[in-house]
Amino acid sequence: MNFENTVIDLLGRGLSVRFRASGHSMHPTIRCGERMHVQPVDASALSRGDVVLARHARGLTAHRIVRIDGTRITTRGDNCSDNDPELSTNDILGRVKIARARGWVRRALTNFSRRGRRLFAAAYVVWESVF
């Protein structure tokens, strides 16, 4: 089973998935290499502005919803000038949450004692699992 099929299968079972983004179409919202957390979502809960993971002809793509027209959804990357081809609600696999942990984590850790670093790291793991 390849990556795409695994993601589709897990989200179809109602499980969340996490993986690193590749590509620059959603820059600066999602940067290449940044971790994304995708949660299964019912299509009726989606709204314009949500970032979703969808099945496209080019493969799995995380883009922002720019239009919802009944069962037809149009997405576009934040770094793209053209809309994607329309999707049906069945093509939407989940809603994307981005795990934001850039340089501030490294900088924060240098300001703590050894015990403080351990506490901060434990709190950060909890924070990351929630968001």
- In one-letter notation, the amino acid at residue 59 is G
DSSP state, residue 131: -
Q: What is the radius of gyration, based on Cα positions, of the chain?
A: 17
Domain locations in the chain as residue ranges: 3-100, 102-131
pLDDT in tens, 63-72: 999 999 999 9
What's the pTM?
0.74
Structure-token pair, residue 112: 């703590």
pLDDT in tens, 78-88: 999 999 999 99
- Which residue is it, tokens 């795409």? 4
- The correct answer on CATH 2.10.109.10 for the domain covering 3-100 is yes
The residue among 89, 52, 57, 83 whose CA lies nearest residue 71 is 89
d(Cα 74, Cα 80) in Å, to the nearest integer? 13
pLDDT in tens, 3-12: 999 999 999 9
